[in-house]
Amino acid sequence: MITPPNQRTGQHPLDVYGDIRRVTQIFQWFISAILLSLIVGVIVNLSVNNILFVTLISAGILLVLAALFLVHYKKFEWASISLAVTLFSLLTILATNGQGIHQISNLAFPAILIVASLVTRKRTMIFLTVYTIGCIGWLVFGELTGAYTPAVFVKSVPGDFFLASFAILLTAFMSRFLTESLFKGNQQLQRELRERKLAEEKYHNIFDNAIDGIFQSTPEGRFISVNPALARMYGYASPEEMIESVTDISSQIYVDSELRNSVRSRLANGEKVSGFESREYRKDGSTFWTSTNAQAIRDANGNVLYYEGTVEDITERKLTEASLRKRESILEAITFSAEQFLKTPDWREKIDIILERLGKEFNASHAYLFEKHPGSNGEMLNSLKYEWTAPGQKPDIQDPKYQNIPVSETGYERYYQILESGEPFLGSASSNTVSGDRHGSGCDQSCRQRSGRRHKTSNG
């Protein structure tokens, strides 16, 4: 026995046939055709003044209209029962007043069963089959017992009942077997389609709401699909804008276009790329760091259809790593300086290599060492005594602005506070002077012209 889909899933039984509206229309057309044939029967019998047949067919029309009403409200099984019983009864009555079991219209019995089997449960089909056999039994044994006499007498024999019943049973069995197979196949198909739809909805939900970027791209260098997170990551207003705007991933996304060729080569060899780091362009031309995981999707013959993967913005992590490396470099430079001072009794012998190491570690243009000393009037002054300059930079040691600077000079307070505490000063000289001061202004202008950072240290 087939359990109708609506009992298990809440769907309509005819959903197994696809579009329920289309099936409803076909059912309505079928009933309308029956109504039309019955109306024609009424007209024909009126023309021969057969009032009995007109009355019977008119009653049948009312019952068929009731079945049409049930179809309108999606009561398909009840409509089938009503329609089948009405037609079986009408055919039996007409045959009783006609040629009995030999009536040509009795050929409609199997056809009605076949149509009914398409929309009814097994128990309903059993009922209709038994009812049909009962109608045939009446036509055969009613004639044999004298309960009625056919209009054109053709003597029936008991074999007529068994032959007709066998035909009905065979028709019912075969139609039910075929429709049951159809139901099972369609139910399985509908179940797979529902599961696939749920899986697609789940995928799209993950795709649209993922934090990391997700993409599909062609080997030629265009995006097939991107999720909103990826579009935002690259500065686009929507996935559609990114797909339309990026026509060459190698040049528009990768800062080093050869990197994509490397990725493509690895994917073509069957490798899954994981944690591939690269600098990439945003829509506005700015760059950021990404980590990409990707794989190639192939067809049954092993040909690459497209690439798919995820992208993570790792710019913050890269900046943190760079900061940590810079801090380690500073510590190493400080340790190196301390070791050099300890190895020699005169620190002046090592000051040049120490300033060079400090300047390079800080990626600076200059590294200074100022000396604090009294002026001719006893005022405390600061003068540049030792300097390292990067290649291509102009030395400042001969610049008067860096010599005999009064400690109390306005604009250099921050320098002196740091240097007086015994700590080195690290930073841009141009950002630590007061504009308008004689020495500060000159130093500020000089530093900006060279666009270099100044690192100062003092022997205290």
What are the structural domains, with CATH classification, of the chain?
5-196 (no CATH), 211-313 (3.30.450.20), 322-458 (no CATH)
Using the predicted structure, report yes or no on whether residue 459 has a pLDDT greater than 70: no
Instruction: Please state the rounded mean pLDDT for residues 379-390.
Output: 87
Tell me, letter by letter, the H, E, C secondary structure of the chain: CCCCHHHHHCCCHHHHHCCHHHHHHHHHHHHHHHHHHHHHHHHHHHHCCCHHHHHHHHHHHHHHHHHHHHHHCCCHHHHHHHHHHHHHHHHHHHHHCCCHHHCHHHHHHHHHHHHHHCCCCHHHHHHHHHHHHHHHHHHHHHHHCCCCCCCCCCCCCHHHHHHHHHHHHHHHHHHHHHHHHHHHHHHHHHHHHHHHHHHHHHHHHHHHHCCCEEEEECCCCCEEEECHHHHHHCCCCCHHHHHHHCCCHHHHCECCCHHHHHHHHHHHCCCCEEEEEEEEECCCCCEEEEEEEEEEEECCCCCEEEEEEEEEECHHHHHHHHHHHHHHHHHHHHHHHHHHHHHCCCHHHCHHHHHHHHHHHCCCCEEEEEEEEECCCCCEEEEEEEEEECCCCCCCCCCHHHCCEECCCCCCHHHHHHHHCCCCEEECHHHCCCCCCHHHHHHHHHHHHHCCCEEEEECC
Q: What is the pLDDT of residue 383?
A: 86
pLDDT band at 281 (very low <50, low <70, confident <90, very high): very high
Report the distance separating Cα 176 and Cα 115, nearest Å.
10
25-79 pLDDT, tens per residue?
777 877 887 788 788 878 887 887 888 888 888 888 888 888 888 888 878 788 8
Mean pLDDT of the chain: 78
Question: 111-125, 139-153, 185-199, 313-327: which range is least confident on average?
Answer: 111-125
Q: What is the pLDDT of residue 364?
A: 84
Q: What is the pLDDT of residue 380?
A: 83
Q: What is the pLDDT of residue 240?
A: 94
Give the predicted TM-score (pTM) of the model: 0.45
Q: What is the pLDDT of residue 416?
A: 64
Using the predicted structure, report yes or no on whether residue 193 has a pLDDT greater than 90: no
- Distance between alpha carbon 244 and the CA centroid of its chain, in Å? 18
